[in-house]
Amino acid sequence: MDERGALLDLISDLSKDARGFRDRNNYSDLTIAELQAIADDYYRQSLEEQYMDACDLHGIPFTLQQINRMNIAELEHRLANMP
């Protein structure tokens, strides 16, 4: 599979994780850089959803404002070190 195909598959998978359904947009006219930016955005959304679910599961209070201030590395770290 080429890089474009791999990014399109990644966008499909990440959009499902982030929103609960697969993104079915037509991205045929976008560049690799634009596709990567979309994948990055869905990855962040997916991490945010995972973090909120984990906090709910463990009874850890959070606000959306707190989550919005976190960068991707911090979200990944907090998820990996969730009690």
Q: State both tokens at 17.
A: 């994780």
Residue 24 is predicted with a pLDDT of 86
Q: Is pLDDT at 83 greater than 90 in this prediction?
A: no
- Report the phi/psi class of residue 59: left, alpha or beta, with left for phi > 0 and alpha for psi in -120 to 50: left
User: pTM of the prediction?
Assistant: 0.87
Every domain of the chain and the residues it spans:
3-80
Distance from C-alpha of 47 to C-alpha of 82, rounded to nearest angstrom: 13
Alpha carbon of 14 to those of 9, 43, 61: distances in Å?
9, 6, 25
Q: Report, as an integer, the average pLDDT of 8-13.
A: 94
Cα-Cα-Cα-Cα dihedral sign, residues 64, 78, 40, 21: negative
Q: Report, as an integer, the average pLDDT of 9-29.
A: 91
Cα of 19 vs its chain's centroid, Å: 9
Residue 59 is predicted with a pLDDT of 96
Chain segment 36-78, per-residue pLDDT in tens = 999 999 999 999 999 999 999 999 999 999 999 999 999 999 9
Residue 28 is predicted with a pLDDT of 87
